[in-house]
Amino acid sequence: MPKLKCECSEVINLSGVPSRDQYLMISDKEYDSYSGLIDAEMLYSKMTIVVKCPLCSRLYIYNDGFNSPPAVYCLE
Ligand SMILES: [Zn+2]
């Protein structure tokens, strides 16, 4: 998914690595199950991808990866 068009019409470019607008999220409980040295790629595979629109701050949370529609959260 190189680009995402936000509800506010901002086009978010996700092709850069690392991406300015992409975040990674993991539950505190799951993170706490790890200790010591951890393989970064393995940890990455356990994280949920979150995209934050730089214009309106909407959050697009991809709970099942980019192949499923995201849950979208908007500021009140
Ligand atoms: Zn937006």
- Residues 40-69: pLDDT tens digits? 999 999 999 999 999 999 999 999 988 899
Confidence tier at 16 by pLDDT (50, 70, 90) = confident
Over residues 8-28, the mean pLDDT reads 93
d(CA 8, CA 13): 14
d(CA 54, CA 49): 16
Over residues 15-43, the mean pLDDT reads 93
Gap from CA of 32 to ligand 1 centroid (Å): 32
What's the pLDDT score for residue 10? 97
Gap from CA of 39 to ligand 1 centroid (Å): 33
Gap from CA of 8 to ligand 1 centroid (Å): 4
d(CA 27, CA 32): 8
Q: What radius of gyration do the chain's Cα atoms show?
A: 14
Q: Which amino acid is at 74?
A: C
The answer to whether residue 1 scores a pLDDT higher than 70 is: no
d(CA 59, CA 74): 7
Tokens of residue 24, six digits: 């990674």
